[in-house]
Structure 1
Amino acid sequence: MKKDLYMTIRLQMLTEDPKEIELIERYWAVDEFGQYLEKVSALAGLIEMAQGVTLTSFIRQRCNAFDENQVCPKCAELIEIKNRSQAKKLPQPAIKLCTLCQKDQDDIALEAKRSKAAELERQLAEFCRNQSTLTVDYSAISDAHVLMLLALDRAITPRLANGGFTIGDCRGLAPLYIGDFVLQLREAGLVLDDPSKARPGTYYWEGDEIWMVRDQVVYRLAPDAESRSADEVIRSLSDRVYTDAEGIFNLWLDYSAADVMRYLGIQCELYNHELTEQELEEIKSTLRSALETYSVSQLWSVVWKVVRDAASLANREYYNRPKAAATIPGKIRRNLEKVRRESIELKSWSRPDQHPAGTLGMVLGEILSVDENTSGHMVSSLVTWLTGQGCSPSVGAELDEPIRELMTIALAHDVSSSVMLRFAELIRAGHDVGFAIEEIGETLRS
C-alpha cells in the first residue's frame, strides 16, 4: 500500500496507469485539518471516462481505499470505504465489519438461512403427511359447522369440493370477520392447511417457531371418514336434521354482529372516524349482546345515529375527530340502555347496496325464514322450533299463569285494549313475550 504525506486513507491500487494513479491520489488527498484538497467537480475532467460513468465509480474500480480512522471491531483491520462521505476525520470505532469479516459473517448467516429453510421444508412435508391421514365423520359434526360449510360451499363453489381455497376466495361468506369463520372450521378439523399449494413465503420462521401469512394459507375440505367425495359430503349436509338450538343461535349472533360491524365500518369511513382494535372489540361485544333482543336493521339505525352524533361533536370547541370517535363505544352502549329502559321502539334501516348479506346469511335465512329485519327474540323462538325444542309442553306452560294474571287485572281495570296495544308495541320493539307480560303487569300493579 502507498500512503501520501497528507492522507489518512490507505490506497491499494488496482491499476498501473500513472494518470489514473495520480487522479486517485488527488481524489483522496486531504490537508492537515482533514479537508479534501480538491473538489470532485474539478477532478472529473482530468481523465477520459466512458459515458455515464461517475468519477467515484471510476476510482472504485481501480483502487481499494481503507480509512485509518476506522478499524474493524472484530479483527482490528482497517475498514474499506467506497467514497469520501464514508471517511472519518478522527479515529473512532467502526460500526461495520471489514470486508473479510463481513464475508465470513454473511457466509455463516447464509448457511443458517439454508439450514432453516431445509428444516422448514422438512417440517411442512411431515405436516402434510400427518394431514393426509386425517378424516372426519361429517354425520357427527355440530349444526353450526354444517351451516358454515354449506355457506362456504356457496361462497366458493366449486372450489370447496374440487380444490384449495384461501380466505380471499371466501369474500362472499359474510360481511366481515371472514377469517374468523374459516378459522373456526380449521380448529374443528373440517378444513385443513395444504402447504403444498401455498405460494413461497406463506410459512416462515419467527425465532424457533413456524409462523404463517394467514391470508396466503391454502385450505381444503377434510376427507370424509366413509371415503365419500366432497360433493357427496356437501349433499349429505343439506339433509341435516338440526337439534342444537344454542349452537345455531350463537352462529346467528356471530353472523349478525359481523353484519352490524360492517355497517359501522362503512359509516365511520364516511365520516373519517378511526377506532382502535380495543374500541371495535368493545362495540362488537355490546352489539352482539343487543342482537339477542333486536334485529340487525334496528341496530343499523343505532349505529347511524351514534356515528353522526360523533361527527357533529368533532366540530365543537375543545374536540377533534379522534376524541369524537373515542365516544362511539360509550354512546352505543348508553343508547341501547336507554332504549331498553324506556321501551323505545327502534327504527329499522334498509340494507345498503354496497353491503351484501353473504352466503352464511342466506343459509340461515333459508332454514329459519329470517333476515336483517328479524328480531333476536324472534330468531331465538324460530331456532327453538326448528330444533324441536319448542314442542315441549313446558315452553307454553311457563307463560300460562302470567298471561292469565295479566288478563284478569286488565279486565278488572277495563284496560284490555290498552294492554293489547302496549303488548304489540313491546313485541315490535324487539322484546320477547315474557318480558312484555312482565313489563305491562308491573305497570298495572303500580
Structure 2
Amino acid sequence: MAIKLQILTDDPKEIELIKRYWAVDESGQYLEKVSALGGIIEMAQGVTLASFIRQRCNAFDENQVCTSCAKLIEIKNRSEAKKVPARSTKLCTTCQNDQDAIAFEAEKAKAAELERQLIEYARKQSSRTVDYSEIPDNQVLLLLALDRAITPRLTNGGFTLGDCRGLAPRYVGDFVMQLREAGLILDDPSKARPGTYYWEGDEIWMLRDQVVYRLVPDAASRSAGEVIRSLLDRVYTNAEGLFNLWLDYSVADVMRYLANQCDLYHHDLSGQELEEIKSTMRSALETYSVSQLWSVVWKVVRDAASLANREYYNRPKAAATIPGKIRRNLEKVQRESIELKAWSRPDQHPVGTLGMVLGEILGVDENSSGHMVSSLVNWLTGQGCSPSAGAELDEPIRELMTIALARDVSSSVMLRFAELIRAGHDVSSAIEEIGETLRS
C-alpha cells in the first residue's frame, strides 16, 4: 500500500506527525497506532487527530484511481486506504466537483421550470368559475359541511387538509378530493410552503398534506360567503346522490369505530383487509344503522382478541380473521332476521360537520337504518311521493291482512312487522317474509 502525500504545512513537528500517521510497512500495515500519536502535538479541545492531519495534508491512495480521469483518489483517513489495487467506485475531487456543479445547474434549471409551470398552472386556475346553482345535491352538502368545519377559511383565504379534520370521523382527504375532482375547489401553489411541489422523474408531484386549497370563484361574481348562504336554500332533487353521500359518511363513521377498537386490542389490519371491511360495511349500511354496525365491530374485534390468546394463534393471525368474521356475522343476522343491538356513540368519537349537516337536512343520525335513510331521502327529493310507490304495496298488504284476520293472528303479524323493521328490513321485504310464513 502506498500513500502519496501533499503536505500543506511548513511546521517540522506537524510534518513529522503526518508522515508517522500515514507510514506503513511492506505488508500495508500502519506502523504506529493512532492512540500512540495523539500526544505528540497539542491540539485544540474537540479536534481529532484525523481532522488535524486532514487540515494540513492531502493524502492520495495509489491503489485507487478515478473512474473518470484515472487520477489518484483522495482519502480522508486510514480506513479508506486499500492494501492492493482495487477498482474504485469514486471520483477524484476535481471530477466530483465538476459532477456536482453539473447536478447543481440541472437542479437550478428544474427549479426554474417548476416555478414557471406552477405560475402558468395558477394562472389557468384563477380563470375558472363555477355556477353553484347547478352543482349536484351531494356536493352542496359537502360544501356546507366543509364551510362549517373550517370557517372562515373556505370563504376567506385558503385551507389545507389538516384544517378539515372536523369534517368527518375518517377519510377526510377523500371527501375533500371529491370537491377537487368536481372542480369546486382548486389548489393554490402561490400560498403553499416551499417544497410542497417537486419533480419526480419528468412529472410534478406534491406533498398532499401541504397543498393549500381554495373555493373556485362563482360564475355570477358573488362572494364566497354569498355562495354558501345561497346553498342553504337549496331544493334537493337527487335522491341517489344524497344517499350515496350518507353511505360515504356512515362508512367513515363505522371505520373510525373499527380503528379505535383495533387500537384498543392491538390488532393491525392491512390495507387490503380494511378495504374488504369497507366494502362489507357499505353494503350493510343500505339496511342497518351505523350504531348497529358498531355493535357488530365490537363483538368481532373482541372475538379476535380472545382468539389471539389461544394455542397456535397469534395476534396477526387473529386480526386477519376480522374481515371474514364481520361478513359471516352479518350474513347470519340477515338469514335469521336477528335484531342487532345499537351501540352509543363513544365520547372520543365526534360526529363531524358532515354528519351534522346530514342530520339537519335529512333528520338522520347514527341510529337511522339504511332503509329509513333511503325513505327519508326519497321523501325529501319528492321521489317517494309518486302514486306508484304506495300502489305497489297495496295488494301485498291487503293479502297479508286478509290472511291475518282470517287466522286471528293480526296482533302477532303487526308485532313481527315492527320487529323486522327494527332489524333493518324495508316495508316490502318485511311484508314478503311474513306472508311466506303465513302461507307455509
Same fold per superposition (TM over 0.5)? yes
Q: Does 1:220 align with 2:228?
A: no
- Which residue does the alignment assign to 1:45? 39
Q: Map Cα deviations across residues 208-260 of structure 1 (whole Å, 9 max, x no partner).
A: 01111111100001000000000100000000000000000000000000000
The offset of 1:135, in angstroms, is 0.2
Residues 98-109 of structure 1 aligned to structure 2 (within 5 Å): 98-109=92-103
- Which residue does the alignment assign to 1:388? 382
CA distance, structure 1, for counterparts of residue 69 and residue 322 of structure 2: 61
Question: What SS does the aligned partner of 2:384 have?
Answer: helix
Q: Does 1:156 align with 2:156?
A: no
CA distance, structure 2, for counterparts of residue 75 and residue 120 of structure 1: 34
CA distance, structure 1, for counterparts of residue 224 and residue 65 of structure 2: 66
Instruction: Name the aligned partner's letter for residue 5 of structure 2.
Output: L
Q: Map Cα deviations across residues 390-427 of structure 1 (whole Å, 9 max, x no partner).
A: 11000000111111111122222222111111111000
The offset of 1:73, in angstroms, is 1.4
CA distance, structure 1, for counterparts of residue 45 and residue 170 of structure 2: 58
CA distance, structure 2, for counterparts of residue 322 and residue 52 of structure 1: 50
Instruction: Name the aligned partner's letter for residue 340 of structure 1.
Output: Q
- Which residue does the alignment assign to 1:9? 3
Instruction: Name the aligned partner's letter for residue 191 of structure 1.
Output: I
The offset of 1:48, in angstroms, is 2.4
Q: Does 1:367 align with 2:384?
A: no
Q: Map Cα deviations across residues 138-194 of structure 1 (whole Å, 9 max, x no partner).
A: 000000000000000000001111010001000110000000000000011100101
- Which residue does the alignment assign to 2:317? 323
CA distance, structure 1, for counterparts of residue 90 and residue 394 of structure 2: 85
Q: Does 1:334 align with 2:348?
A: no
- Which residue does the alignment assign to 1:211? 205
Q: Does 1:249 align with 2:274?
A: no
Instruction: Name the aligned partner's letter for residue 140 of structure 2.
Output: V
Instruction: Name the aligned partner's letter for residue 433 of structure 2.
Output: E
- Which residue does the alignment assign to 2:303? 309
- Runs (4 or more) in structure 1 with deviation over 3 Å come to none
Question: What SS does the aligned partner of 1:171 have?
Answer: helix
- Which residue does the alignment assign to 1:177? 171
CA RMSD of aligned residues (A): 0.8
Instruction: Name the aligned partner's letter for residue 355 of structure 1.
Output: H
Q: Does 1:195 align with 2:189?
A: yes
Instruction: Name the aligned partner's letter for residue 296 of structure 2.
Output: V
- Which residue does the alignment assign to 2:115? 121
- Which residue does the alignment assign to 1:440? 434
- Which residue does the alignment assign to 1:3? none
Q: Does 1:261 align with 2:250?
A: no
- Which residue does the alignment assign to 1:91? 85
2:370 alignment partner, one of 372, 376, 392 = 376
CA distance, structure 2, for counterparts of residue 59 and residue 387 of structure 1: 84
Instruction: Name the aligned partner's letter for residue 126 of structure 1.
Output: E
CA distance, structure 1, for counterparts of residue 12 and residue 364 of structure 2: 91
Instruction: Name the aligned partner's letter for residue 135 of structure 1.
Output: T
CA distance, structure 2, for counterparts of residue 10 and residue 241 of structure 1: 86
Instruction: Name the aligned partner's letter for residue 70 of structure 1.
Output: Q
Residues 291-306 of structure 1 aligned to structure 2 (within 5 Å): 291-306=285-300
CA distance, structure 1, for counterparts of residue 298 and residue 390 of structure 2: 37
1:70 alignment partner, one of 64, 68, 75 = 64
Percent of matched pairs sharing the same residue: 85
Question: What SS does the aligned partner of 2:166 have?
Answer: coil
CA distance, structure 2, for counterparts of residue 53 and residue 265 of structure 1: 52
- Which residue does the alignment assign to 1:411? 405
- Which residue does the alignment assign to 1:288? 282
The offset of 1:90, in angstroms, is 1.6
CA distance, structure 2, for counterparts of residue 34 and residue 61 of structure 1: 24
CA distance, structure 1, for counterparts of residue 283 and residue 249 of structure 2: 13
2:223 alignment partner, one of 222, 229, 235 = 229
2:395 alignment partner, one of 390, 401, 412 = 401
Question: What SS does the aligned partner of 1:46 have?
Answer: coil
CA distance, structure 1, for counterparts of residue 46 and residue 414 of structure 2: 92
Question: What SS does the aligned partner of 1:205 have?
Answer: strand
Structure 2: gaps spanning 5 or more residues: none
CA distance, structure 2, for counterparts of residue 13 and residue 70 of structure 1: 19
The offset of 1:52, in angstroms, is 2.4
Instruction: Name the aligned partner's letter for residue 377 of structure 1.
Output: H
CA distance, structure 2, for counterparts of residue 93 and residue 415 of structure 1: 95
1:61 alignment partner, one of 43, 55, 59 = 55
The offset of 1:50, in angstroms, is 2.3
Instruction: Name the aligned partner's letter for residue 39 of structure 1.
Output: K
The offset of 1:74, in angstroms, is 1.4
Question: What SS does the aligned partner of 2:279 have?
Answer: helix
Q: Map Cα deviations across residues 193-213 of structure 1 (whole Å, 9 max, x no partner).
A: 011000011111110011111
Question: What SS does the aligned partner of 1:51 have?
Answer: coil
- Which residue does the alignment assign to 1:421? 415
TM-score of the aligned structures, taking structure 1 as reference length: 0.98
Size of the aligned set, in residue pairs, is: 440
TM-score of the aligned structures, taking structure 2 as reference length: 0.99
- Which residue does the alignment assign to 1:4? none
Q: Map Cα deviations across residues 33-82 of structure 1 (whole Å, 9 max, x no partner).
A: 21110011111111222232221111101100011111111111111000
- Which residue does the alignment assign to 1:270? 264
Structure 1: gaps spanning 5 or more residues: 1-6
- Which residue does the alignment assign to 1:353? 347
